[in-house]
Amino acid sequence: MLSQARIESILPIGDLGRQVVYLDTVGSTNDLAKSLGEGSYGNGTLVVADEQTQGRGRGERGWLTPAGTALALSVLLRPGLGAGANALALNGLGAIAAVDAVEAFGGNARIKWPNDVLLAGRKAAGVLAEVSWAEDQVEYAVIGIGVNVQRGSAPPDDQVLFPATSLEEALGKPVDRLELLRAIVAQLDRWQGALGKPGLVEAWQERLAYLGEQILLEQQGEAVQGELVGLAGDGRLRLRLAGGQEIVTGQDFVHLRPVDSRLE
């Protein structure tokens, strides 16, 4: 079980989790963290909920967090974040942290660029980073991470664009949500210093799914196919088209999938 006291007992790690807001149920932990960002809550404030009723994913999609089965957390980050604190890089940071946390549980996780965490070719976790700018300065940023932990938390194939799984299904063993939360916060703390530095993009690229493979990037009816070559220095995706020409695409391409989409 998650609770305010149990979460506080394992934190903070560095600055992360100095303040903790736990709720049994909330609309969206990202929305709550953003409203705390508008107020006086400090750098590293952690919002966790057992259930989300209006969880949000990228591209206006929803995110399911059924009670008792999943992990939904959002971290509030304050300035001092540095030049690399744009939403794309923060999505990368969240995805790297989630992958490394899952690996500590024995899973070989990969990142479906920019920020989906795959286990055995299926999506087990997602990241939603949001930045509030005041002119050209970051006022605050929120990194939200949702993990399907128990089997009941992964939506069925006919309800999602990309097939989902849960950690327990993919790993074949029980996963304690508090331990997973601790591992994710520890990895966020470990990697946040790499924001704005080449090491973040290198780590992101090393963890990518489909490197060297043919993928399709789709955006509102428009699709581009090419070989996933790697990442540009700012975390955008490099794609080699059939004629050999290389293009760099931003995260406005909302849906990525392998051309050969057989599951592992």
Is the Cβ of residue 63 or residue 140 nearer to ligand BTN in the bound state? 63
What single string gives the DSSP state of each residue in 52-113? ESS-B-GGG-B--B-TTTEEEEEEEE-S---TT-SHHHHHHHHHHHHHHHHHTTT---EEET
Q: Residue 119, interface with ligand BTN (CB under 6 A)?
A: no
User: Checking phi first, is residue 212 left (phi over 0); if not, alpha (psi -120 to 50) or beta?
Assistant: left
Reported as type and span, the H/E element at residue 147 is strand 137-148
Rounded least distance, CB 27 to ligand BTN, Å = 8
* Span from 97-105, 121-129, 183-191, 203-211 in contact with ligand BTN (CB under 6 A): 121-129
Binding positions for ligand BTN, 43-102, rule CB under 6 A = 52, 55-58, 61, 63, 65, 72-74
Interatomic CA distance for residues 169 and 172, integer angstroms: 5
Q: What is the DSSP letter of 192?
A: H
**Which residue in the set 17, 84, 121, 144 belongs to the binding site for ligand BTN (CB under 6 A)?**
144
* Span from 27-35, 133-141, 164-172, 203-211 in contact with ligand BTN (CB under 6 A): 27-35
Binding site for ligand BTN (CB under 6 A): 28-30, 52, 55-58, 61, 63, 65, 72-74, 116, 126-128, 144-146
